[in-house]
Amino acid sequence: MSIKAGIVGASGYGGAELARLLYGHAQIQLTTIAAHAHAGKPVAELFPNLVNAGDFDPVEPQQLAELDLVFLATPHGPALELGAELYDAGTKVIDLSAAFRLSASDFLQWYKEAHPRPDLAAGDTQAAGDVVYGLPEFHRAAITTAKLVASPGCYPTATLLGLTPLRELFEANTVVVDAKSGTSGAGRQPNDGQHFAHVAGNFTAYGAPSHRHTGEIERWLGQAVGPISFTPHLVPMSRGILITAYATLRAGITQDDITDALMNAYQNEPFVHVLKPGSFPHTKAVAGTNACHLSALVDGRTNRVVVTSAIDNLGKGAAGQAVQSANIMCGFDETQGLTTIGLYP
C-alpha cells in the first residue's frame, strides 16, 4: 500500500530534507514539490543533492487537497492559511511550522498575532480532537487518528525529549535550557548572520531571553515546571542541536532515579537512545537521522541534574519527525524511510 503526498515550502531546508527522505520512502510517493517563489525553476539550483528532482511545482491548493497527505514546510503565516484550507477539505496535513503548536492565547503572546483558527491550535484545550501536537514518543495514540499534526519545533523536540520524563523530579522554577544549533536552523535565506565568513570560527548567543520556542517548551513541558530560561546559540556547523538543561532536584532524588525515569520512558522507543553514564551525546552521531541521543548526570555538589540531548534539527527536529508522524497516521511501520545511524564522520 502506498499514498500520494506533497510538500509545500520545498525551497526551505526543512522542505528539501523532506524531499530527500521521501524519495527513499517505499510507501509514500512524492508527487508534488511546491515552492511559491521558485515554481518552474530546477530544484537542483538550490539543492545540488536533488539533481533528479526536476522543477519546483507551483502552490495550488485545490490540487494539493486531492493528495492523501500534505507536508507544510512554509513559515507559519502561509501555513495558517493553507493548513486550515486543507484541513477543512479533509486532507491530512502535517505542518512543520509554529502555526498550530500553541494555544491561541500563547500564540498571541509569543507570535504577536491573533490565531485565526483556535479550533486548530493544538495547544488549546478547545482544539478539535483530530488536531495533535505531534511528538510521537508522547502523543503516538493521538497521532494515529489525527487529521492535522502540528509537528514540534527543533529546540522543543530536543528539550522535551530530555526533560519530560524527569519533570516531576524537579523543583519548580529552576529549569535553565542552554541550547545550541547549527546554522540550517536559521533557514536558507542568505543574510549577514549566515555568511560563511561570519559563522566559521564564531560562536554566539542570539534571541535571548525571549526566543519564541520558549513558549512552546513551557506549554508542553507543563505549568508545574514554571517559567524556564532559554538561550539559543549559533554553532559553526550546518546541522544539529544540542541542548544542555539544568534543573534543581527535589530532595532525595538520585542518579538512579534519573536513569530509571529515562530508561522507562525510552527503552522501547526506536529513535531515542539513552547513553551510558559518562558518555555525552554528539550532534554528528545523529546527523541525517531521526534519532535523539540523551544523557543525564546528577551533580551532588549543586543538587542539579544536567541533561544533554542531541538531534538533527532537520531530522528529528523537523523533516524526520514529520515522516515519523506520517508513518503513524498512515499505518506504516513507524521507522519506514528513516534511519538512526548518523553520517559520521
Catalytic center residues: 154
Q: Which stretch binds a copy of itself (CB under 8 A): 16-24, 158-166, 257-265, 316-324?
A: 16-24
Residue in the block written with cell 536513569: 259
Using CB under 8 A as the binding criterion, the count of chain residues that bind a copy of itself stands at 81
Q: State the Cα angle at 313 between 337 and 296, rounded to 5°.
A: 105
Q: How far is CA 94 from the centre of its chain?
A: 12
Shortest spacing between CB 85 and a copy of itself, in angstroms: 30
Q: Which one among 225, 253, 285, 311 touches a copy of itself, defined by CB under 8 A?
A: 285
Q: Which stretch binds a copy of itself (CB under 8 A): 73-81, 134-142, 221-229, 316-324?
A: 221-229
Determine how many CB atoms are found less than 10 A away from the CB of residue 323: 28
Report if residue 105 touches a copy of itself, rule: CB under 8 A. Answer: no
Polymer length in residues for the chain: 345
Mention every residue, 6+ apart, whose C-beta is less than 8 A from residue 288.
Answer: 239, 312, 315, 339, 342, 343
Report if residue 335 touches a copy of itself, rule: CB under 8 A. Answer: no
| Cβ nearer to a copy of itself, comparing 105 with 144 | 105
Report if residue 227 touches a copy of itself, rule: CB under 8 A. Answer: yes
Assign 189 to helix, strand or coil: coil
Report if residue 14 touches a copy of itself, rule: CB under 8 A. Answer: no
- Within positions 129 to 158, which residues make up the interface with a copy of itself, using CB under 8 A? none
Q: Which one among 6, 13, 117, 157 touches a copy of itself, defined by CB under 8 A?
A: 13
Phi, psi of 309 (to 5 degrees): -145, 125
Phi, psi of 138 (to 5 degrees): -115, -15
Q: Which stretch binds a copy of itself (CB under 8 A): 60-68, 80-88, 114-122, 225-233?
A: 225-233
